[in-house]
Structure 1
Amino acid sequence: MKNIHSVSSLLLILLAIFWSFKSSMPSYTPHSSIADTLFSTDRALVHVENMSKEPHAVGFVAHSDVREYLISALKNLGLQPSIQEGYTAGDWGNLSKATNILARIKGSNPGKALLLLSHYDSSPHSSLGASDAASGVATILEGIRAFLHENKLPKNDIIILFTDAEELGLNGADLFVNQHPWAKEIGLALNFEARGSGGPSYMLIETNKGNANLIKEFTAADPQYPVANSLVYSIYKMLPNDTDLTVFREDMDIEGMNFAFIDDHYDYHTFRDDYDRLDRNTLAHQGSYLMPLLKHFSEADLGRLQTINDSVYFNVPFFKMVSYPFEYIFPMLLLAVVTFIILMILGFQKRRLNIKEIALGAIPLFLALVINGLIGYFSWPVLKWAYPEYQDILQGFTYNGYSYIAAFTLLSVGVSFWCYHKFGKGSTQNLLVAPLLLWLLICGGLAFYLKGGSFFIIPVYGLLASLLILINQKSPHSILMLLLTLPAIWIFSPFIKMFPVGLGLKMMIASTLLTTLTFFLLLPALGTFKKKLQYATLSLLLGISFLIAAHFSASYTVDRANPTSLVYLLDADKNQAHWATYDHVLSGWTAQYIGVQKEHPQPNEHKTLSSKYGTGFTQLSAAPLKSISPPLITTNKDTIVGGYRHLDISISPQREVNRLEIFTNDIPISKAIINTIPLSDYFLAHRTNGKLISHYISNNEDTHLQLTIPRDSTLALTIYEASNDLLHNPLFSVPQRPQDNIPKPFVLNDAVIITKTIRF
């Protein structure tokens, strides 16, 4: 009978884990009949398909095509779109001419406006941008269409903003916030984004103050599938952020909510970010956020959202959003500690607790944490050693990454079962004491240092209740004990998956440790299992099976394409040319050019061109010289006033180009203006690798520099001028990639680059 209870309990635990994921998203039904006043995923998909046919980064031909499509789509909704155009450099020193698209729905009241926000440019140079962020633009277009069909005048104005050049440095948002008069009228911004092509969309708050009013109103809007928690909110506030909404918060103190999905992270910024790979359930999830929030916030008082108060919040199945004030954190922690002390006293009085068994119960806990921590810590280095090609997936999340998450999670469960089989010989109530003490310490640390994670105390209450029952009953009902573990399952299961998906497999240690800590919370149900060794063996075998499955899916295919890179690098000063790559393991396509005569670049031989992960060239090979005209550099002015030297320099391309990177020698630059845009004093003081500016060029425009340096200084400008036309430039005969290769994202790729250094 106990074996039957064990198996049934295990099956119910697996069902609860499944439901923690299943209940987080809607299910998309294709070609379903939906009323005109409701959000239709099919109608939104039409916009995604039309926007993601070609890469449409700033300066690319398809960029203007997408812009014209969106202007037409807004007009079809009966709106009067306008554009805002201008240069900005943002905070990253990435200069571009951004062209924002705007429209406005007038409300009945003169109060603050609601902003619906997404960006329409794709990442240079190869991303089709279906998820990032055609999905966001399509969500807004379809949501506004459904909203307008209700023929109801909103109380608040609704501003629609499709920003440009987000991928280059949040330039469009910077242009709007600092130069458009509508920016001052905004009370709340809702931003739709992506860092993958599927999975649930997470709600992340952007605020300079407290989140309490935002969470209160978000809960009142009652989205059907909320996925949000204050732990991520607290971490997010501690880290540098890079969404358009960050500019609104930092420069204009505008409150906002991001809605972004991160699953299938390997598609992020790649050619595989296409219409077919966008998860339809995910797009439906974005729509399930927008519609209730649009209806709610178009009527709410947006001038009263700011507050100094914060709330702890999290989502769980059936209850949707649960929240409570930060002021409850320490009382709830104190209540848990006092309850623990009372239960300890009660347990000793009833002779249900034993000091020796409690002490011995700490051994399996300690061993499981250490072993699983080591497994998680060394998992990614070992995987990169066994599969060197994984180094070329710069996102850090491999195509078979989900198999690795399953494998290491199961291995952690197996190790935990084995530790408690080998050393957990005491009664269940005694085994619970060490985990309770550990979890109270964790919750205490969170209460002081990461308050947003204080909802971790909720599963601890379940563990305390289990200890109370075990002290008073020798054979409590297994279903009751299982019910008390549900908060732990529903709260922590998504985290176990989320960390390595969103941050890369290097964060597998977070999954293995969190799996172990969750196992401790499940001890009231698992501790009664008599055949722990068999469950340990089963878990370990399943974990190994997933590792084997990952091995057989490690090779590249058409669906799991190899991200490869190749550039032609011409040094105009030395009159030398090289093929260069960022790849660690050469594909057959790249090896045609980086062959047996390859060499590794010397340290600091080439500047680190701007990229998300600071990726540099890994291998070089001599290349034939081509007749390519370098940029024309003209000194318009060189004067000395007082202790400073003022330079006015123009750089004019002599061919069709997409990007210009400018680096300087190590001299102080007190003032820099690029194409009329001044670079901030902070940026100039904290430049890295000598970078001055990255100019993402539209219409082959010149780059105009106005620099102020010390009067006796010599300025050396090193210029990298690039065109993304290596595969179709008539001077070259580089073949198209095979179908199981794609351009490597996040780096300057498929480019013809000319370098030149000039001194002034």
Structure 2
Amino acid sequence: MHTMEHTPSPARRRPIAGLVALAALAAVAFAAWLAERPPAPLAEDAPEAGFSATRAWPHLEKIAGGGPTPVGSPGGDRIRDYLVGRLAALGLEPEVQTGVGARSFGSAIVSGLTENVVARIPGTASTGQVVLAAHYDSTTTTPGTSDDKASVAAILEIVRALRAGGEQPRNDLVILLSDGEEPGLLGAESFAAHHPLAKAGGVVINLEGPGNGAPSAVYNVTPGGTGLTGVFAASPYPVGESALIGIYRQTGFHSDLTTLEEHGFIGVDLGTAGGRAYYHHPRDTVANFDPAVLQMHGANGLALTRAALAADLPRLREPSDAAFFSAFGAVVRIPGALILPLAVLGALVVLAFAVLARVRRAASLPGMGLAVLTAAAPAGLAYAAGDRLWPLLGLLRPGYARMVYGEPYRPDLYRLALIALALALVWGWFVLLRRRFGPVALSVGALAWLAVAGVGLAGAMPGMFYYGALPALAGGLAGIAALFLNGRRPLLGRGSAHLALAVQTAAAAVGVVLLTTGARTFAAFGLALAATVMVLLVLAAFAALPVLAAATPAAAATAATPDTAATPATPTAPTTPATAGASEGPGAARSLQGRLRAAAGPVGAAVLAVALVAAGLVYDQFDGQRPEAAHLAYVLDGESGQAHWVTSDERLHPWAAGLTPEVSGSWTLPLPYGMSPAHTGKAVAAGLPAPEVSVLSRRQEGAETVTRVRVRSLRDAYQLNLHADRPARAGAIRVDGRPGVPLPQPEEEPGEGEWPFEAQFFAPPGAGVEFELRTSGAPTLLATDMTIGLDGLDGYRPRPATVDLTSSTGGLPTDAVVVVGRIRTP
């Protein structure tokens, strides 16, 4: 037996080494993901000064074990009383702050009567106060286990841990368990505007629940509070990155920290970032919440609070914002002054790599230029594929179209499909163009995109700059090292190629970890926003391109010049018509065979992506535990007696389609946030009393008409809305004889609709709500009141067991009964 016949040739050894390097990169990325998983929950007998999810769990069962508890509901009152009792049992003196909060969202005014639970622990040498906050109300569609009752239960355990052994904090601690967050941050607004403790400002640790799964991550840090990243680093399980902050602030999502920030506080939002499908969902129950997630959330919340309580709080305010990210349980913080220099350095290193590649004849200038241009193709295709994935899934499974936050119950296979597709696009781009431009030129093209992204983000969104700058810097340095190691006279002989690949793999790991971690972070927004995730994954594949190149077999054994990434210093001749059209025979056969081997990687990744999507459709089936959703509401015009069934669903479920068969045309009755239904159907008018709209007075002050109007529900409404046919320039809201709360100015100019002014009031008292409006001319007014629950209405058929309520989105909630009332003049 001749052993030489079984020894792999150099051409085959290189792809094997590349595949090993590729597997190593995948293992590093997987390890980074594992580092973000929650720990096992600590038992009841855990150290008293630590956080135990087992000890917190009974609180969660008590406050989240029932149905929805929106602001003003009897269930909310029971939670309020429980919280007061538990804080008192811990030796605090809690108070219930009852007040009116009012804010604007878009062109609408949102207000309501709230009851915050507030307590204080004085510090021994206070430099300010730390506000530990969460909200105890839910939307009308969910028990709110993750949003935000798990955080409330965690705070009760955090306070117990802080009180254990007589621990006395340096700084003052204020516990704020707010009410009315879901309709519009109303409890936090009431606290910030009217409570004496709010006048001193402070640092906020706000615990939230954007989903019901791990990890517990910092997703927002207020501007000017960069020093809080040091507090964040004290977490036992730190997860978070500054890249998410700018995106979060542009999405329209808010938390209680939003309004506290407007009143001078700085702080962080810490939230459970997984399980987006359960956000505001009827199945956000205790049974669907993992104790391990509570352990991570509460332990991080306790550590953040302890670190803030021990800090010199004024020093946490920093004028410039830093970039930060977490990886493998550590937090990396980059001062704001270094962001632009690092981005420029990354670009200069990539430029130096390109110059050296040209000098050493490893790549041509035209080849590198065309590589940069053609690299737009995989990035653009990836963005388009991510943008169309959720609509495509909605076509294949119509129930997905009614999941309003664009996320299925079990999205993991779909997310793996995105990874496979990004890999296929970048790897396919490389295989198609490798023989024409050469692997070094394509590496320069990929790194150029990372470098440009780093510089651009440093100027536009500094918190995201590291997505491009750090992979470009690492990749450029590794490329330069590889050119020296694989030159015509290798520094280490035959071992130079392996050392070069090791260096490039280590550099690629920087980009792969940063960008795949970022992709997982942005995945928290749901598959509907997969386009951004796909771009990050393509950038990760760009960072890994030298490893992909090394894992790609030579396309043709008969090529005139070597075609391998293991020897990047060797120039690769462009394919000419003569060489492309090889004559028939053994050489041509070997050439075709080589090209098929080279295409195996990208084709396999593409096939895997399709298979994963198909498997996801099989795996993520709707059933009794994970039902479909359908939106339906009832609207009655109290004056005309006309009634309609309405839905916001574009794709109708058969259960709702029978009641709403008509595509909505010219809808004139006002609904929350100027909503127009997607489909309607005639309904039997119910004998429901319309809200009273009584004009108390009207006077002229210069060019303005001042109108005082009282709106009162005759059916114990959850929500009252006042609408006017012209905008209000100023005014006030009064309840129960309390001092008036100024009418907030809309964030946006009202639209051109018939009712451009809208003021919502939640949890209205039986005596009604008084509004004062200053308008140009006398307004025409009407009001709507809203209750929740369709049972008893003529023609209504209860939902099947496999159809659930649609998650709340801030518009007209599902199962709402809306009655419209007109002016009644005294």
**2:659 maps to amino acid:** Y
1:506 to 2:528 alignment: yes
Q: Which residue of 2 aligns with 1:324?
A: 334
1:413 to 2:426 alignment: no
**1:488 maps to amino acid:** G
Which of 68, 73, 80 is the aligned partner of 1:67?
80
Per-residue deviation, 1:742: 1.5
Q: Which residue of 2 aligns with 1:293?
A: 304
Counterpart CA distance in 1 for 2:652 and 2:462 is 46
Counterpart CA distance in 2 for 1:681 and 1:67 is 28
**1:64 maps to amino acid:** D
Cα 1:714–1:108 change in 2 (3 A) is closer
1:749 to 2:765 alignment: no
Per-residue deviation, 1:62: 0.5
Which of 461, 467, 479 is the aligned partner of 1:467?
479
Q: Which residue of 2 aligns with 1:10?
A: 22
**2:381 maps to amino acid:** I
Cα 1:454–1:579 change in 2 (3 A) is closer
- Which runs of structure 2 are paired with 1:213-292 in the superposition (5 Å)? 213-219=227-233, 222-236=234-248, 242-251=254-263, 253-292=264-303
Contact 2:698 2:705 survives alignment (8 Å): yes
SS in 2 for 1:74: helix
SS in 2 for 1:424: helix
1:442 to 2:457 alignment: no
Which of 512, 516, 538 is the aligned partner of 1:489?
512
Counterpart CA distance in 1 for 2:640 and 2:402 is 30
Q: Which residue of 2 aligns with 1:28?
A: 40
SS in 2 for 1:560: coil
Which stretch of structure 1 is more off in the superposition, 323-332 or 100-109? 323-332
**2:113 maps to amino acid:** K
Which of 713, 717, 741 is the aligned partner of 1:653?
713
Q: Which residue of 2 aligns with 1:708?
A: 774
Per-residue deviation, 1:364: 5.6
Which of 124, 129, 137 is the aligned partner of 1:108?
124
1:54 to 2:120 alignment: no
Counterpart CA distance in 2 for 1:573 and 1:350 is 84
Q: Which has the larger radius of gyration?
A: 2
Per-residue deviation, 1:553: 4.7
Counterpart CA distance in 2 for 1:225 and 1:20 is 12
Cα 1:709–1:447 change in 2 (3 A) is closer
Q: Which residue of 1 aligns with 2:637?
A: 571
SS in 1 for 2:176: strand
Counterpart CA distance in 2 for 1:615 and 1:403 is 35
Counterpart CA distance in 1 for 2:719 and 2:699 is 29
Q: Please, which runs of 5 or more residues in structure 2 have no aligned partner?
A: 1-12, 487-496, 554-596
Q: Which residue of 2 aligns with 1:739?
A: 801
Q: Which residue of 2 aligns with 1:303?
A: 314
Render the CA deviation track for 1:267-320: whole Å, top value 9, x for unaligned.
1111111112223332222123122222222221113322213222111225x1
Q: Which residue of 1 aligns with 2:694?
A: 634
Counterpart CA distance in 2 for 1:582 and 1:344 is 54
Per-residue deviation, 1:719: 1.9
SS in 2 for 1:55: coil
**2:315 maps to amino acid:** R
Counterpart CA distance in 2 for 1:238 and 1:550 is 30
Per-residue deviation, 1:385: 4.0
Per-residue deviation, 1:128: 0.4
Per-residue deviation, 1:119: 0.6
Which of 518, 526, 538 is the aligned partner of 1:516?
538
Counterpart CA distance in 1 for 2:785 and 2:533 is 43
Which stretch of structure 1 is more off in the superposition, 27-36 or 323-332? 27-36
Q: Which residue of 1 aligns with 2:566?
A: none
Q: Which residue of 1 aligns with 2:563?
A: none
Per-residue deviation, 1:187: 2.4
Counterpart CA distance in 2 for 1:95 and 1:428 is 61
Counterpart CA distance in 1 for 2:611 and 2:34 is 24
Which of 131, 154, 157 is the aligned partner of 2:172?
157
1:119 to 2:135 alignment: yes
Per-residue deviation, 1:413: 1.2
Contact 1:206 1:245 survives alignment (8 Å): no
Per-residue deviation, 1:588: 4.3
Counterpart CA distance in 2 for 1:600 and 1:757 is 27
Cα 1:470–1:361 change in 2 (3 A) is farther
Counterpart CA distance in 2 for 1:5 and 1:685 is 58
Q: Which residue of 2 aligns with 1:173?
A: 188
Per-residue deviation, 1:71: 1.0
Q: Which residue of 2 aligns with 1:147?
A: 162
Counterpart CA distance in 1 for 2:402 and 2:814 is 13
CA RMSD of aligned residues (A): 2.6
**1:494 maps to amino acid:** T
Per-residue deviation, 1:634: 2.9
Counterpart CA distance in 2 for 1:476 and 1:545 is 34
Q: Which residue of 1 aligns with 2:113?
A: 97
**1:311 maps to amino acid:** A
Contact 1:347 1:471 survives alignment (8 Å): yes
**1:544 maps to amino acid:** V
SS in 2 for 1:150: helix
Contact 1:213 1:307 survives alignment (8 Å): yes
Cα 1:246–1:468 change in 2 (3 A) is same
Contact 1:314 1:323 survives alignment (8 Å): yes
Contact 1:203 1:227 survives alignment (8 Å): yes
Per-residue deviation, 1:665: 1.0
Per-residue deviation, 1:705: 2.5
1:458 to 2:458 alignment: no
**1:35 maps to amino acid:** P
SS in 1 for 2:672: coil
SS in 2 for 1:321: strand
Per-residue deviation, 1:56: 0.8
Cα 1:116–1:326 change in 2 (3 A) is same
Contact 1:88 1:677 survives alignment (8 Å): no
Per-residue deviation, 1:237: 5.3
Per-residue deviation, 1:678: 3.9
Render the CA deviation track for 1:238-281: whole Å, top value 9, x for unaligned.
66552111111112x11111101232111111111111222333
Render the CA deviation track for 1:486-505: whole Å, top value 9, x for unaligned.
11121111222333431x43
1:587 to 2:653 alignment: yes
Counterpart CA distance in 1 for 2:699 and 2:350 is 76
Contact 2:151 2:298 survives alignment (8 Å): no
SS in 2 for 1:723: strand
Render the CA deviation track for 1:603-652: whole Å, top value 9, x for unaligned.
34332424xxx754222222223222222333333344555444332233
Cα 1:139–1:29 change in 2 (3 A) is closer
Contact 2:172 2:309 survives alignment (8 Å): yes
Which stretch of structure 1 is more off in the superposition, 575-584 or 351-360? 351-360
Render the CA deviation track for 1:397-453: whole Å, top value 9, x for unaligned.
233543333223312211222221222125543332112222222212122222222
Counterpart CA distance in 2 for 1:645 and 1:362 is 63
Which stretch of structure 1 is more off in the superposition, 109-118 or 360-369? 360-369
Q: Which residue of 2 aligns with 1:187?
A: 202
**1:599 maps to amino acid:** E
**1:119 maps to amino acid:** H
**1:421 maps to amino acid:** V
**2:715 maps to amino acid:** R
**1:514 maps to amino acid:** L
Counterpart CA distance in 2 for 1:372 and 1:644 is 55
SS in 1 for 2:454: helix
Cα 1:351–1:669 change in 2 (3 A) is closer
Render the CA deviation track for 1:58-89: whole Å, top value 9, x for unaligned.
12220101111111111221211111001222
Counterpart CA distance in 2 for 1:314 and 1:74 is 35
Counterpart CA distance in 1 for 2:129 and 2:86 is 22
Which stretch of structure 1 is more off in the superposition, 664-673 or 81-90? 664-673
Q: Which residue of 1 aligns with 2:148?
A: 133
**1:722 maps to amino acid:** M
